[in-house]
């Protein structure tokens, strides 16, 4: 993976010094709360319900074992011994002290980590595919370009104070695993006559106004991605709305202008930057790409693996096709039933770091589904990896299954949340704790967000759950049929919302409708697409009191 | 009165900024004598009257478009770009366009909610004078505000070549 050079290192050390001084001036009253807020946000520091929340960047999801050990140490020393992986390649700590953050940043800088621009109205962490570099369906490795983009976004002088946050994802595979349709800019690999480039998608986003992005440029040579993004950003910085934070994302600008008028402005702007100094050189690409070369794979043949049922289940769900014969990518599930999705303890981080060192060339990745990937494991090592991961609670064989829930921290931790999300996730996991049943249900994405900001990506879950506030009570709205990937789309609301207590039953009824109606080999989504939402709706609300009857029931209670 | 920083040092402000009071219009507001920074609307309405002055200043609000004044830039000794709030980043694009696209070479001043921690970004996009907000330490801003980082990745006005083109 990428190793910092002297300048990269110097810049993050200078960032630590700068933030230390900003905290000092804030404590001394030289910076007002309002003046300090964007500065701390651009260093990942929120003030939250119980304590500050601190968000550390894992650029494009890549980490080495030393970095993960440092995260373990930091979580233990400055927090409560655990962290939470988010859907955008970050690790969040929920209980640090503001005064400690400069020290935390200094310790992170020693292993080439930082919290730069992990929140605030600026260019955020670049995200990509957790299987980058090893995926069997990959056309180019997006990581060198993601690193070049990381550097370009870092302290960009013109775009440090945008109307709102700005998220970019880059994908280099046939099957999109980076949700490019729902980013402010999504770059999707496209090849024309052997020339490598990207389709540029703009104005997508989840949040309170979910919008699928639109194609602003069908083909952009890879050399031009920085100059083209700058053109988009300049149009957005100048004309994006600043009067209303809820209407400030680029998607609103794109919607109000229409994609054709927006494209015209971007292309007019790009005419000036095209071919200019921000054009990526082959030399720079080669320099960065040299950091992402394949590890020293051994020539290994296929191996006999144990036929043990539990092992085979894990193999089926938690390993991934690899471009190298005899190797596989292992997903360590952070979706153990009963544990907050994406949470990981310091001890587990250290175990994962050891596993990475022993079995996967000392590197690992985190996915937007909030799991950890060991990308280069020899198949013959799988039984050992499984045993060790299992002992650490990291081998739940549920990747892609109903209980591998994407979930935000929700009302237990987050100030923005309307409702708790983690207890809903754990209640659903408890209801579907039977592995035979879970495997029978098969591929199913269930995503939960505690509010319409949609950090849990509920809109693109096959089943989406959104926490809503009704007269100070927590309720949950269910959507069906959302999806990520090439055919990404938003789910449809099934009907009136449910109380927390009703949720496991509601999910179970939805599952029952699927099981009763499915044809052989049909996944949940296939059945849903064939039969539509009505059978689900009818079952879920069957016999359910509503209107006057509901009111009477509530009054009687 | 803000505290002016120019050429890396405290400086006296020799310009008067014309502001329209309630009920005044660009067409009828009296034009003061001396070195005056005019709002864009006044310049547009009274160009013929103003153009004869030896030194002319222009103020751009964050929503004002550089394109609307691009042909006049040679007329101005100073352009002040107003930041209504420091989190309103439009002025950075205004400055970048003035310097990089339209070749403006006169004084480019950041005015309004101008704070210590934004000076680095402002210098990079092309500002060369800064009306630091009152109550903030001028010596400290001059000492450390402009140089939190010793190098930069992107191309900008101060350094057109991104770092990747300058690597040894």
| Residues A255 and A359 reside in one and the same domain | no
- Separation CA A418–CA A410 (nearest Å): 8
Q: Above 70 in pLDDT, residue B15?
A: yes
Residue A412: the pLDDT is 86
- Separation CA A491–CA A483 (nearest Å): 7
Residue B144 and residue A21: Cβ atoms within 8 Å?
yes
Residue B167: the pLDDT is 86
- Separation CA B96–CA B88 (nearest Å): 15
Residue B47: the pLDDT is 97
- What's the gap in Å between the CA of A265 and the closest CA on chain B? 13
| Residues A483 and A373 reside in one and the same domain | no
Q: Enter the tokens of residue A527.
A: 């059945």
Residue A119: the pLDDT is 95
Q: Above 60 in pLDDT, residue B113?
A: yes
Residue A505: the pLDDT is 96
Q: Flag whether A172 is in a domain.
A: yes
Q: Above 70 in pLDDT, residue A208?
A: yes
Residue B88: the pLDDT is 98
Cβ of A156 under 8 Å from any chain B Cβ?
yes
Q: What is the CATH number of the domain that holds A321?
A: 3.30.70.3340
Q: Above 60 in pLDDT, residue A555?
A: no
| Residues A283 and A366 reside in one and the same domain | no
| Residues A412 and A385 reside in one and the same domain | no
Percentage of chain B surpassing pLDDT 70?
Answer: 99
Q: What is the CATH number of the domain that holds A56?
A: 3.90.480.20
Are A217 and A199 a contacting pair, CB within 8 Å?
yes
The mean pLDDT value of chain A amounts to: 94
Q: What is the CATH number of the domain that holds A432?
A: 3.30.413.10
User: Sign of the C-alpha dihedral, residues B133, B138, B142, B148?
Assistant: negative
| Residues A417 and A375 reside in one and the same domain | no
| Residues A474 and A540 reside in one and the same domain | yes
> Among the three residues A69, A95, A110, which one is the final residue of a domain in this structure?
A110
Are A46 and A55 a contacting pair, CB within 8 Å?
yes
Q: For B153, which of A39, A152, A160 is closest by C-beta distance?
A: A152
Interface test with B, best of A18, A32, A161 (most B CBs within 10 A): A161
| Residues A275 and A171 reside in one and the same domain | yes
- What's the gap in Å between the CA of B130 and the closest CA on chain A? 16
| Residues A89 and A171 reside in one and the same domain | no
**How many Cα atoms are found within 13 Å in the side-chain-facing hemisphere of A245?**
6
> Among the three residues A365, A391, A417, which one is the final residue of a domain in this structure?
A391
Residue A556: the pLDDT is 58
Residue A88: the pLDDT is 87
Percentage of chain A surpassing pLDDT 90?
Answer: 86
- What's the gap in Å between the CA of A136 and the closest CA on chain B? 31
- Separation CA A393–CA A336 (nearest Å): 7
Number of domains within chain B: 1
Q: Which domain holds residue B75?
A: 3-166
Are A248 and A184 a contacting pair, CB within 8 Å?
no
Task: State whether ipTM is beyond 0.90.
Answer: yes
| Residues A72 and A96 reside in one and the same domain | yes
pLDDT tens digits for range A362-378 = 999 999 899 999 999 99
Q: Enter the tokens of residue A191.
A: 């090849």
Are A338 and A429 a contacting pair, CB within 8 Å?
yes
Residue B117 and residue A22: Cβ atoms within 8 Å?
yes
Are B117 and B145 a contacting pair, CB within 8 Å?
yes
Residues in chain A with CB shorter than 8 Å from the CB of B101 are 272
Q: Above 80 in pLDDT, residue A48?
A: no
For A:27-46, CB contacts with B below 8 A are 30-31, 35, 38-39
Q: Flag whether A1 is in a domain.
A: no
- What's the gap in Å between the CA of A506 and the closest CA on chain B? 44
Q: Above 90 in pLDDT, residue A436?
A: yes
Q: Enter the tokens of residue A537.
A: 């709706």
Residue A438: the pLDDT is 95
Are A458 and A208 a contacting pair, CB within 8 Å?
no
pLDDT tens digits for range A506-527 = 999 999 999 999 999 999 999 9
Residue A209: the pLDDT is 86
Cβ of A13 under 8 Å from any chain B Cβ?
no
> Among the three residues A226, A257, A288, which one is the final residue of a domain in this structure?
A288
- Separation CA B135–CA B130 (nearest Å): 14
Of all residues in chain A, the one with the smallest CA distance to B61 is A238
| Residues A368 and A435 reside in one and the same domain | no
Q: Flag whether A396 is in a domain.
A: no
Residue A49: the pLDDT is 65
| Residues A279 and A316 reside in one and the same domain | no
User: Sign of the C-alpha dihedral, residues B91, B97, B100, B105?
Assistant: negative
Q: Which domain holds residue A202?
A: 143-288
Number of domains within chain A: 4
Q: Above 80 in pLDDT, residue A71?
A: yes
Residues in chain A with CB shorter than 8 Å from the CB of B144 are 21
Q: Flag whether A78 is in a domain.
A: yes
The percent of chain A in helix, strand and coil, each rounded to the nearest 5, is 40, 20, 40
Residue A137: the pLDDT is 80
pLDDT tens digits for range B71-84 = 999 999 999 999 99
Residues of B with CB under 8 A from a CB of A: 86-90, 92-93, 96, 101, 115-118, 120-122, 124-125, 136-137, 144, 148-156, 160-165, 167
């Amino acid at each position: 993976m990428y190793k910092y050079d002297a300048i990269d290192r110097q810049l993050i050390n200078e960032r630590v010094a700068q933030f230390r001084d900003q905290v000092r001036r804030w404590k001394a009253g030289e910076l007002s709360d309002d003046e300090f807020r964007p500065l701390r946000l651009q260093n990942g520091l929120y003030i939250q319900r119980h304590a500050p929340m601190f968000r550390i960047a894992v650029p494009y999801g890549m980490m080495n074992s030393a970095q993960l050990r440092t995260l373990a140490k930091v979580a233990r020393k400055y927090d409560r011994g655990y962290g939470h992986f988010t859907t955008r390649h970050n690790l969040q700590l929920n209980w640090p002290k503001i005064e400690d953050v400069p020290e935390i940043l200094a310790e992170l800088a020693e292993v080439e980590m930082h919290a730069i621009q992990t929140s605030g109205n600026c260019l955020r962490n670049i995200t990509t595919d957790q299987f980058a570099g090893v995926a069997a369906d990959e056309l180019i490795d997006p990581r060198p370009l993601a690193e070049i983009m990381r550097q370009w976004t870092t302290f960009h002088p013109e775009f440090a104070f945008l109307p709102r946050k700005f998220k970019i994802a880059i994908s280099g595979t046939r099957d999109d695993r980076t949700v490019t349709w729902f980013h402010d800019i999504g770059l999707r690999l496209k090849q024309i006559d052997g020339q490598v480039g990207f389709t540029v998608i703009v104005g997508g986003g989840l949040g309170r106004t979910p919008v699928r992005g639109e194609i602003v440029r069908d083909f952009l040579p890879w050399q031009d991605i920085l100059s083209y993004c700058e053109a988009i950003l300049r149009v957005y910085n100048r004309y994006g709305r600043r009067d209303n934070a809820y209407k400030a994302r680029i998607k609103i600008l794109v919607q109000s202008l229409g994609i054709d008028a927006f494209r015209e402005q971007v292309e007019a702007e790009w005419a000036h930057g095209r071919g200019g100094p921000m054009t990526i050189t082959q030399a720079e690409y080669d320099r960065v790409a040299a950091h992402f070369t394949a590890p020293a794979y051994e020539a290994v043949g296929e191996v006999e693996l144990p036929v043990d049922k539990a092992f085979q289940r894990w193999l089926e769900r938690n390993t991934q096709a690899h471009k190298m014969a005899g190797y596989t990518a292992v997903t360590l599930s952070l979706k153990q039933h009963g544990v907050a999705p994406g949470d990981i303890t310091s001890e587990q981080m250290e175990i994962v770091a050891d596993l990475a060192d022993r079995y996967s060339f000392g590197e690992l990745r985190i996915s937007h589904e909030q799991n950890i990937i060991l990308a280069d494991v020899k198949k013959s090592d799988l039984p050992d990896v499984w045993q060790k991961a299992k002992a650490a609670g990291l081998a739940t064989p549920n990747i892609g299954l109903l209980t591998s829930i994407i979930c935000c921290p929700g009302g237990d931790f987050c100030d923005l949340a309307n409702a708790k999300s983690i207890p809903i996730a754990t209640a659903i996991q408890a209801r579907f704790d039977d592995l035979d049943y879970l495997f029978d249900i098969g591929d199913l994405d269930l995503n939960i967000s505690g509010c319409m900001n949609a950090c849990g990506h509920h809109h693109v879950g096959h089943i989406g759950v959104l926490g809503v506030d009704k007269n100070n009570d927590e309720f949950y709205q269910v959507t069906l049929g959302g999806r990520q990937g090439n055919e990404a789309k938003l789910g449809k609301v099934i009907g009136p919302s449910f109380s927390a207590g009703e949720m496991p039953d509601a999910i179970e009824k939805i599952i029952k409708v699927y099981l009763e109606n499915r044809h052989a080999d049909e996944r949940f989504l296939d059945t849903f697409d064939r039969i539509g939402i009505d059978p689900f709706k009818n079952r879920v609300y069957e016999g359910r009191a509503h209107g006057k009857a509901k009111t009477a029931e509530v009054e009687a209670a | 009165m803000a505290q002016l920083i120019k050429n890396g040092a405290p400086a006296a402000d020799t310009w008067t900024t014309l502001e329209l009071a309630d009920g005044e219009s660009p067409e009828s507001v009296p034009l003061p004598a001396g070195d005056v920074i005019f709002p864009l609307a006044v310049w547009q309405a009274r160009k013929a009257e103003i153009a004869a002055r030896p030194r002319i200043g222009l103020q751009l609000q964050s929503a004002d478009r550089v394109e609307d004044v691009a042909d006049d830039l040679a007329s101005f000794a100073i352009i002040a770009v107003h930041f209504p709030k420091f989190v309103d980043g439009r002025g950075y694009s205004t400055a970048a366009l003035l310097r990089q696209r339209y070749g403006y070479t006169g004084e480019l001043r950041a005015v309004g909610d101008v704070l210590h921690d934004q000076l680095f970004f402002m210098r990079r996009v092309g500002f060369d004078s800064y009306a630091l907000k009152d109550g903030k330490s001028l010596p400290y801003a001059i000492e450390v505000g402009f140089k939190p980082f010793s190098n930069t990745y992107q191309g900008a006005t101060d350094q057109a070549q991104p770092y990747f083109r300058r690597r040894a």
